[in-house]
Structure 1
Amino acid sequence: MKALPKTPSISSLWGLREDRRAAVFETSLTLDDGEYRHWEELRHRQPPAGLSVEEWWLALKLKRSYGALAFPTLTASNGRPLTVFRHARIDAGMARMDRLLGGQLALPETVRNEATRDQYLASSLMEEAIHSSLFEGAASTREVAKDMLRSARPPINRDERMILNNYRAMERIRELRQEPLSLELLLELHRILTDGTLDKPECAGRFQRPGEARIRVIDDRTNRVLHEPPPAEQLPERLDRLIAFANADDIHDGQFVHPVLRSILLHFQLAYDHPFYDGNGRTARALFYWSMLRRGYWLAEFLSISRLLYVDRGPYLRAYLYTESDEQDATYFVLQQIGVLESAVDELFEYVRRKSEAQRQVRQLLSHRGDLNHRQLALLDHALRKPDAEYTHESHASSHRISIVTARSDLLRLVEFGWLRQLRRGKRFVYMPTRNLEARLRPR
């Protein structure tokens, strides 16, 4: 990812001849800005007839300024406030989040029902924890990481520790959803996320201090500086303003800030300020989840935005660069994050649909039995798809957020039915599907 030059400023409009300036003003009224292109993309395209590419860019900038929201609490190092253009795709995306992430009607009964929803929540928390760590460079596989979390085994290296930390942070965010943001809460999240993973352990849970070399964002391939964060001397005031923005009412200083937009801007600004020695990206994404849950979007805890960022990190990184190089226009970042949220919601609903159908099939297969609970049905569904799977009291308890006693009872009951085998390994019991499980499950 290369650093970008600053875009031509709208102030250069006043350096044009009067007739050219008039042409730019007239064009700005009719331009289609649906793609919201950055100067880096636009300058290689053919401008509308009668305009140079620079005049085309100025017309777009003028159009964007007509509907821009400014956030003086969130600023660049030079004091320029973040701005966001009221783009149709942003409005439509936020309206969709209102419908789907805060309500109940669109969801299957298995997620609306508190008795069965925890199995989906546990899997989602694991996915976000794993991929947030992989995105930041942890070396592991999804299967190994998930096995560690499900079995509650201790991490064997720093990469697994990072994943476990992310999982614990996501669980802590659920507990803190009603709490206002504070410096103490922010430091607690960072301490959880970085415990045992830093080259400088003493930096866990504290901001960088004046006199310390600021941690810059570097392109690993070219060694070029992509982002120079604000001086550490500015951090106390900047973080105070960030916290005030996080806790403000939806209508503040006469301006309505949509809760989803507020959450996205918190994500951006904390990463921009880069207040920590390491773990800034993970903490910024954790702050996003805290903000969404606090504003009532309860279904957000089932989403994994980091999985999508890990699959394709380019647009995410470009959105930061586009914003900083274009006079703190955060519309690029908001559009990118809205797209990620919509994809994450689509994935969630497809996942719930598949799981609901799979459980329906298992229930249909086991319709002659009335003595199985939803956890046992879920385990049998998994065992049918993974005949070499292993289960422990700890993994079953973690997957369904139940006690070890309840997990043991569930598993032993399935052993009694002849559907699981119980093996002893050292001091612990392991359970595996019996051979020809599907045939054994069918009525005789």
Structure 2
Amino acid sequence: MKVPASPPPQKKLLEILKSGDADKITLLFDRTVGPCDTQGRYLHWDKLRHLTVPEGYDPELYWLMMRDARNRISRGLPFSDKSGAPFQFCMPDTVIRDILWISENATGAIEADSKISDPRTKQTYLINSLIEEAISSSQLEGASTTRRVAKEMLRSGRRPKDHSEKMILNNYSAMNFIHEYKGESLTKSMIFELHRIVTDDTLSDEDAGKAGVLRGEHDDIRVYSHDDKLLHTPPPYKELENRLQMLCDFANMDNENEAYFIPPVIRAIVIHFMIGYDHPFVDGNGRTARALFYWMMAKEGYWLMEYISISRIIKQAPAQYMYAYLHTETDSNDVTYFIIHQLEVIKKAIKDLHGYLADKASEYREAERLLEKSKLSGVLNYRQLGLLKNGLDNPGMEYTIKSHQNSHGISYQTARTDLLTLSDDFKLLRKYKMGKKDVFVAPANMIDLIKVR
């Protein structure tokens, strides 16, 4: 990974005015050049310089005009970089469009879906999403456990076997912490506790005891690429207390009474960005930043965000995530690059949820079709139908009362009744003892057992 090329400075516009080049001077007053290119893209100079630009322009002049258009609509943020220069953002039409789409699709558009709105099934989907985000966020920062093994650990409630599994368990606990505190104002104490949770028993021996503690004078924190290139040096440790308090003030601001309105989605993304930029902790900054993003979205009523995983989308193209930071740092502290990246991540995660719900609905219908001619028709509940479909797809899969309980957020007795009904009453699961614990197995011939019912 390379650091993007820095854009030409705006002072070059003055050089053009002084040059006497009539053709270029005329173009300086062309207001058809906006903050985005002709395809609606908010490009960084590092890419724009290689592209074909409108007739009459060279890449440098086109960039300068585009940057000038951005400056005219930019808005300041109450944060500065390590040299004291302010961060800013702007809202071109593409950003406004995406914010409106997310607001519509993350606050109520999907509420009519019975699997989400039904309180009996709502908890199941919430738990699935918490597990998915915990796994993906940990894998972004080096956890190597497979998704199947990680899900088995979280659902069974067993202790983690290694460092990677502990990271995932911590992230799962952090997401539950966010769910519990989504109605509260953000405090530094909450951020420290959140960091303590995500890094519990996973820090190196050298950093032991620094969970939930700001980095100090002797913590040499820098961000490197996978090929060991220095990408970012965060602000000095002495500034962190004040910077964290400013972040809390920003999160808690009352949009109704402020001088100007910042959409909640933008505020959530900026909080994510600033934790990544400040790197206030020796480790776990990314996980803390993404958890705080979820907290802000949940606090502002974007209830559907609790059911999606942004880390899973980020993990598909981690370099783009890093470049969103680098583009901001190398171009006038313009956080718009990071905002646009995260808006795309959120949109894709929401669309994936729509697809996931459609697939699950299809799976339930398929299981119901298999059962409709048997005496089981109308007898099994949605949890049992889901388990049977999972067993049909995964012969030999093992279930326990604890794993079934954790998967659906139900009581121990309800989970026990579900499984014993499937094993003892209908003989669709095989039951055996492992010590004092009952284990239920999906037999390879489950489909034949269903057909004869």
1:195–1:201 CA contact under 8 A, matched in 2: no
Q: CA deviation at 1:366?
A: 2.7
Q: Aligned in 2, Cα 1:331/1:388: closer, same or farther, shift over 3 Å? A: same
Q: Does 1:241 align with 2:246?
A: yes
For 2:32 and 2:41, the matched residues in 1 are separated by 16
1:25–1:62 CA contact under 8 A, matched in 2: no
Within 5 A, what are the aligned runs for 1:67-216?
A: 67-71=73-77, 73-105=78-110, 107-199=112-204, 200-209=207-216, 211-216=217-222
Residues 40-93 of structure 1: per-residue CA shift (max 9 Å, x gap) = 11122233333332211110101111221221x122112222222212221111
1:104–1:112 CA contact under 8 A, matched in 2: no
Size of the aligned set, in residue pairs, is 441
Q: CA deviation at 1:371?
A: 2.8
Amino acid at match of 1:438: I
Q: Which moved more, 1:431-440 or 1:317-326?
A: 431-440
For 1:9 and 1:17, the matched residues in 2 are separated by 14
Q: Which moved more, 1:273-282 or 1:234-243?
A: 234-243
Amino acid at match of 1:407: A
For 1:88 and 1:214, the matched residues in 2 are separated by 41
Q: Does 1:330 align with 2:335?
A: yes
The residue aligned with 2:422 is 414
For 2:243 and 2:31, the matched residues in 1 are separated by 35
Q: Does 1:400 align with 2:408?
A: yes
Q: CA deviation at 1:10?
A: 2.1
The residue aligned with 1:61 is 67
Equivalent residue for 1:276, pick from 260, 281, 292: 281
Within 5 A, what are the aligned runs for 1:220-299?
A: 220-221=226-227, 223-251=228-256, 253-299=258-304
Q: Which moved more, 1:266-275 or 1:82-91?
A: 82-91
Q: Which moved more, 1:286-295 or 1:371-380?
A: 371-380
Equivalent residue for 2:399, pick from 366, 391, 399: 391
Q: CA deviation at 1:252?
A: 5.3
Q: Does 1:23 align with 2:26?
A: yes
The residue aligned with 1:351 is 356
Gap runs ≥5 in structure 2? none
The residue aligned with 2:55 is 49
For 1:442 and 1:47, the matched residues in 2 are separated by 65
1:132–1:166 CA contact under 8 A, matched in 2: yes
1:28–1:60 CA contact under 8 A, matched in 2: no
SS of corresponding position for 2:399 = coil
Q: CA deviation at 1:154?
A: 0.6
Equivalent residue for 1:377, pick from 378, 385, 389: 385
Residues 228-282 of structure 1: per-residue CA shift (max 9 Å, x gap) = 1011111111111111001112245421111111101110011101000000001
Q: What is the TM-score normalised by the length of structure 1?
A: 0.95
Q: Aligned in 2, Cα 1:104/1:339: closer, same or farther, shift over 3 Å? A: closer
For 1:232 and 1:252, the matched residues in 2 are separated by 33
For 1:170 and 1:113, the matched residues in 2 are separated by 22
User: How much is the aligned-residue C-alpha RMSD, in angstroms?
Assistant: 1.7
For 1:337 and 1:27, the matched residues in 2 are separated by 31
For 2:49 and 2:165, the matched residues in 1 are separated by 44
1:24–1:56 CA contact under 8 A, matched in 2: no
SS of corresponding position for 2:11 = helix
Amino acid at match of 2:422: L
Q: What is the TM-score normalised by the length of structure 2?
A: 0.93
Q: CA deviation at 1:107?
A: 4.4
Q: CA deviation at 1:194?
A: 0.3
Amino acid at match of 2:442: P
Identity of aligned residues (%): 40
For 2:126 and 2:5, the matched residues in 1 are separated by 43
Gap runs ≥5 in structure 1? none
Residues 292-342 of structure 1: per-residue CA shift (max 9 Å, x gap) = 000000110111111111121111111100000001111111111111111
